[in-house]
Structure 1
Amino acid sequence: MMTSRERTLSVQVKQKFSDFFQERGYKNWPAGSLIPDESDPSVLFTTAGMQQFKGWYTTSQPSTINCQRTTTCQPCLRTSDIDEVGDENHLTFFEMLGNFSFGEKDSYKMKKRAIEETWEFVTKELNIEPKRITVSVFSGDEKIEEDKESLAIWQEVAPGVEIKKQGREDNFWGLGPPAQAGRPSTPCGRTTEIYVDGIEIWNLVFNEFVDNGDGSFRPMESFGLDTGMGLERLMMALEDTDDIFATDIYRLWRDKLAKISRFKYQERPRDWRIIIDHLRAATALAEAGIIPGNKDRGYILRRLIRRALVYGQNLGIENIGQAFSDLPATIKEEEEKFGLAIKKGKKELEEILGRGQKEIPGQLAFDLFQTYGLPLEIIKELAGEQNIKIDEDGFFAAAESHRQTSRQGMEQKFAGGLADDSNETIKYHTACHLLLAALRKVLGGHVVQKGSNITNQRLRFDFSHPEKMTPEQVKAIEDWVNDKIKRDLPVATEEMTVAEAKESGAMGVFDERYGERVKVYTIADPSPSSGAEVNPTTGEIISKEICGGPHVKRTEELGDFKITKEESSSAGVRRVKAVLTKK
């Protein structure tokens, strides 16, 4: 066990992890965006290191994968346990160290290599004593048999170490919900977990199956390794503490909060932990370009900021921005808005309390929270001063109803990628068709759309491409799109069967997501260039795709097209952001 003098700082641990696996043939891969590829609507945020590689596990052609083994340090955000944050080990935002492999043909060799590497890193590189370690393997059930291979390997690699057999809830894992129409297949598999002093630090997932979505599983054509080790929990083991917020990762956060809190960490640890975790998560989201709002990711960001501010009040903090001067401007602006909203909410609540009611209905209390951000704790406190009760069951029922409605709306939004159907959003939607055509023209026919997000102010477009675009390529794409806009080309639509659409050459994903009949949108140039694909009726085909619409009638309506940013979205996927300006 490391002494206090030998404690490894988190940045050094990350480097040690990367170096260890690079020496063993893994390629150090850049972290994916905290905002995942929107062709996968199963999650709002990146929740695991393997998320950017998800398609690599299910490909039927492993030889097309850019790299067979990778290692990353991936920022992740999970809000499923947000109400648990405040204890010694729950977080919303964390970093996950991981090593991955794809296209494996021998599952036993894959498992043996992974377990041997894991044991060597933990006991030799990190110097964690074997007596502190326990491991677990999948015990088997009626659908998937026991993982006898992993059990035997552990017995060979780490004789004497306690091995626990656990069920599906603990030792079987997949990324996202099961496959269904419009949603990618989910790689999944049995896992083996490593615990130090009873705390899970590392999870090894052996992706051997695909979830069919009907309760059954099918073997994958090739296997894959997906491991994840939470950096923050690992630091607990290395620094010999049972409090994750006592590790070096949070030291600067604690020091800054101590300057403005009226209470010490030991006096109000839950409030301190919530504030630190939520501000760290909010900072990551703000830096990823998310703006506080009332829907989807914006709602999550707003909730994180406002929860941090509410618990700051418990510590007597009037202005968190004073201590954390380097917080993104987005968070500081939201703090100002929240202060004004709280004042309005309290005034509204005072009027409600003055009506002489003995109990405030749960829906009304939730409306105060939803409209003004007035927390239930504050509502209860002010109402209690007048001996008025709150229907808390009704409050939580209204909150759950809101969550369900939001979730359904999110799924509908991601299905088409459109935030609304305003005129500006429709223009951006049409521009996406020209952008895809331009990308294929400039970069090559390997480019396919991987996701999009369209608002009335900008478009974001994800596409398959293995490397960063050069400035010359970006300019060539802009020029190509603007040329087609300037030519004022017609945008035509016709309805046909899926078979007819496929026969016509329309681009699309030909699977169960479509109904019997589809709409095909075509942008064509009546004056074709030499050697172009020409339709006798419409002229040169510029773009032809299956799409639910809506679109503009002619391209000149779009204005000028400008790419504002080009970046990595995930492994093998690039992302561009673009705007349209009036001429």
Structure 2
Amino acid sequence: MNAQELRSKYVEFFKSKAHAQIQGKSLLPDNDPTVLFTTAGMHPLVPYLLGEPHPAGNRLVDYQKCIRTGDIDSVGDPSHLTFFEMLGNWSLGDYFKDGAIRMSFEFLTSAEWLGIPVEKLGVTVFEGDDTVPRDDESAAIWKALGIPESRISYLPRADNWWGPAGTTGPCGPDSEMFYDIGKEPCGPKCGPGCSCGKWLEIWNDVFMQYNKAADGSYEPLARKCVDTGMGIERTVTILNGKKSVYDTEIFAPIIAAVEKVSGYTYGSDPEKDKSVRIICDHVRTATFILGDPKAVSPSNVGAGYVLRRLIRRAVRHGHKLGIEDRQILSPIAAVVVEKFKGPYPELEENWKYIKTELDSEEEKFLETLQKGEHEFEKLLPNLIKDPRKIMSGRMAFKLYDTYGFPIELTDELAQEQGLKVNREEFDEAFKKHQELSRAGSEQIFKGGLVDQGEISTKYHTATHLLHKALRMILGDHVAQKGSNITAERMRFDFSHGSPMSPEEVQKVQDIVNEQIQRDLQVTMKVMNLDDAKALGAMALFGEKYESQVKVYSIGDFSTEVCGGPHVEHTGTMGKFRIQKEQSSSAGVRRIRAVLE
């Protein structure tokens, strides 16, 4: 079974169980300052898991593009990826453990669907602790379906508990499904969840059963929800009896593209094979980031920095395959677009931008490498004179930190001259650098729920007022390109080709404050998307919408398709002040503002 068949079967199965198919969302989440990218299928659905009604109903199914960069250094092994696709189904206060587990079991084992033999399946459930009892309910359902006690592992919170993302909020046990690849057990306690490689996780059902209170206690939720997730790449690997995600049809054409541009035949050398896998993963991820409707460009901060790092790492591994004097990324990206344009048409729509940005960034990095080599050559005469023939780690780190020159290339150049780099000293300097970086971005990478607090709700409503005010002053070409909200401020990106004048900034600020002073009522209606457009409702640039949408009106001032949350009256919002208007990227401006 290939990825497209799995995607289709999953959606078809859950639609047959009365689930509405919804659209997957952008890789760049709105109004969640805790993460740079959408990290799981549930991420865009958080407001609905927390109680907001979904216009498509209370049983949902979709496929979602996701990025996780925490394991970037493990990419290149058989299973780690930075970009992956997640299949998911949700119950928003409808069915719970019995319904979710039975549907999961049917989809996995029924001959009509995946047809996995029952004896190949094992599961894990929460073992319980001092605050929450063992999840015997889930275990009993699995046993009734034919999973014996010997293939049910009871595991602690670290393995089988989800949330809350903050200190309080919805959370609960989960039950994970594993496939036995047939390896011998590593010992008498080897069961589902063991990390020896015998058991591969394929699906996870999360049961949002409790609310964690401020005093640390757990209260049962009145409205229980289910969130599930199945990774497409890993499941396709298992269904086809492959040892690695890179051995599947998902990656075959991308590997072939790397072979074509490099002249290297995959499978010839383990170290070079690893470089091929890194190039495949990183170019695929970069293509999806650049092809997203809310695309960012490579930069030195946030999501743009992750993108830059992926591109440069791919170029560096191209060097390891012997490609040094030409650009290779966009021909590989073209194959990624061709492979994925069916489920993700935005890739083909944005191909020109993808190619331009990849070519430009690759060219810049090749220049960086030339500068680094030039700096290395300037250091060389003194290094050769040194009888120890050792280049200090401090010097190597300066090449990395100041010129972006990779340590691996410094190593190679040093070896060619009969020198050694003090890697211990370099690693120490690098570690210190990482710690400083991490301290500054801890909140960003923490991951978690969108803040539904009162101040965030005010800022979210302010983005609607700002959007309309900008269109009034600058013109109808203005469209929202993204926003980011924290408890302290809001950031709003919009399409506009030139800097705003101080007078324009003042006019926009005055219009927003006027609407706040008018104390306009905010109302919401669920309607057909075509009706919303006919009504003149603005919709977020590049967003994918269901056929039924929520339309928020702020008095007679603005009407916009949006998921919420919003204040009930604008008079509660305080005073709006624009702190800064600046460039965000080509053709996109950025406003930072506060409510006082």
Both structures adopt the same fold (TM-score exceeding 0.5)? yes
Match of 1:396 among 425, 430, 438: 430
Q: How does 1:48-87 map to 2 (within 5 A)?
A: 48-59=40-51, 66-87=56-77
Structure 1 stretches of 5 or more lacking a match? 1-7, 180-184, 449-463, 485-501, 509-519, 522-544, 553-557, 559-563, 565-576
1:118 is matched with 104
How far apart, in 1, do the equivalents of 2:506 and 2:443 lie?
A: 19
Answer whether contact 2:207 2:224 (CA < 8 A) is retained: yes
2:358 aligned with 1:331: yes
Q: How does 1:94-243 map to 2 (within 5 A)?
A: 94-104=84-94, 110-124=96-110, 125-160=113-148, 162-174=151-163, 177-179=165-167, 186-197=169-180, 198-212=199-213, 216-243=217-244
1:249 is matched with 250
1:506 is matched with 571
**Cα distance change, pair 312–215 in 1 and its aligned pair in 2 (3 A):** farther
> What is the percentage of aligned positions where both structures have the same residue?
32
Deviation at 1:382, TM superposition (A): 2.2
How far apart, in 2, do the equivalents of 1:298 and 1:42 lie?
A: 16
2:45 aligned with 1:41: no
| More displaced 10-residue stretch of structure 1: 404-413 or 314-323 | 404-413
How far apart, in 2, do the equivalents of 1:187 and 1:103 lie?
A: 13
**Cα distance change, pair 252–419 in 1 and its aligned pair in 2 (3 A):** same
2:288 aligned with 1:284: yes
Q: 1:366-407: CA deviations, max 9, x gaps? A: 443344331121122223432342423323323313422540
Answer whether contact 1:136 1:164 (CA < 8 A) is retained: yes
Deviation at 1:143, TM superposition (A): 2.6
Q: 1:489-513: CA deviations, max 9, x gaps? A: xxxxxxxxxxxxx9996344xxxxx
Answer whether contact 1:418 1:425 (CA < 8 A) is retained: no
How far apart, in 2, do the equivalents of 1:111 and 1:476 lie?
A: 36
Deviation at 1:472, TM superposition (A): 6.1
Q: How does 1:175-574 map to 2 (within 5 A)?
A: 177-179=165-167, 186-197=169-180, 198-212=199-213, 216-266=217-267, 267=269, 268-288=272-292, 289-318=295-324, 319-321=327-329, 323-324=331-332, 326=334, 328-356=355-383, 362=393, 365-384=396-415, 385=417, 386-390=419-423, 391-407=425-441, 415=486, 416-418=489-491, 431=508, 434=511, 445-446=522-523, 467=529, 470=533, 473=536, 506-508=571-573, 520-521=574-575, 549-550=578-579
How far apart, in 1, do the equivalents of 2:568 and 2:534 lie?
A: 36
Q: Secondary structure at the match of 2:123?
A: strand
How far apart, in 1, do the equivalents of 2:16 and 2:506 lie?
A: 46
Q: Secondary structure at the match of 2:536?
A: helix
How far apart, in 1, do the equivalents of 2:568 and 2:66 lie?
A: 42
Please, what TM-score do these two structures have when normalized by structure 1? 0.70
Answer whether contact 1:178 1:211 (CA < 8 A) is retained: no
Letter in 1 for 2:3: S
How far apart, in 1, do the equivalents of 2:253 and 2:73 lie?
A: 24
1:22 is matched with 15
How far apart, in 2, do the equivalents of 1:476 and 1:151 lie?
A: 45
**Cα distance change, pair 149–446 in 1 and its aligned pair in 2 (3 A):** same
Answer whether contact 2:492 2:590 (CA < 8 A) is retained: no
Q: 1:412-434: CA deviations, max 9, x gaps? A: 985323499x9859967984885
Q: Secondary structure at the match of 1:506?
A: helix
**Cα distance change, pair 355–470 in 1 and its aligned pair in 2 (3 A):** farther
How far apart, in 2, do the equivalents of 1:210 and 1:400 lie?
A: 35
| More displaced 10-residue stretch of structure 1: 219-228 or 24-33 | 219-228
How far apart, in 1, do the equivalents of 2:568 and 2:429 lie?
A: 54
Q: Secondary structure at the match of 2:177?
A: strand
How far apart, in 2, do the equivalents of 1:159 and 1:240 lie?
A: 22
How far apart, in 2, do the equivalents of 1:388 and 1:434 lie?
A: 61
Answer whether contact 2:330 2:358 (CA < 8 A) is retained: no
Q: Secondary structure at the match of 1:473?
A: coil
Answer whether contact 1:292 1:299 (CA < 8 A) is retained: yes
**Cα distance change, pair 425–148 in 1 and its aligned pair in 2 (3 A):** farther
**Cα distance change, pair 97–213 in 1 and its aligned pair in 2 (3 A):** farther
How far apart, in 1, do the equivalents of 2:178 and 2:514 lie?
A: 50
2:15 aligned with 1:9: no
How far apart, in 2, do the equivalents of 1:467 and 1:160 lie?
A: 48
How far apart, in 2, do the equivalents of 1:551 and 1:466 lie?
A: 37
Deviation at 1:43, TM superposition (A): 1.0
How far apart, in 1, do the equivalents of 2:238 and 2:501 lie?
A: 50
Letter in 2 for 1:168: R
Deviation at 1:350, TM superposition (A): 2.8
Letter in 2 for 1:324: I
2:194 is matched with none
Q: CA RMSD in A?
A: 4.0
Answer whether contact 2:391 2:420 (CA < 8 A) is retained: no
Deviation at 1:57, TM superposition (A): 1.6
Q: Secondary structure at the match of 2:44?
A: helix
Answer whether contact 1:380 1:389 (CA < 8 A) is retained: no
Please, what TM-score do these two structures have when normalized by structure 2? 0.69
How far apart, in 2, do the equivalents of 1:251 and 1:167 lie?
A: 38
1:515 is matched with none
**Cα distance change, pair 113–435 in 1 and its aligned pair in 2 (3 A):** farther
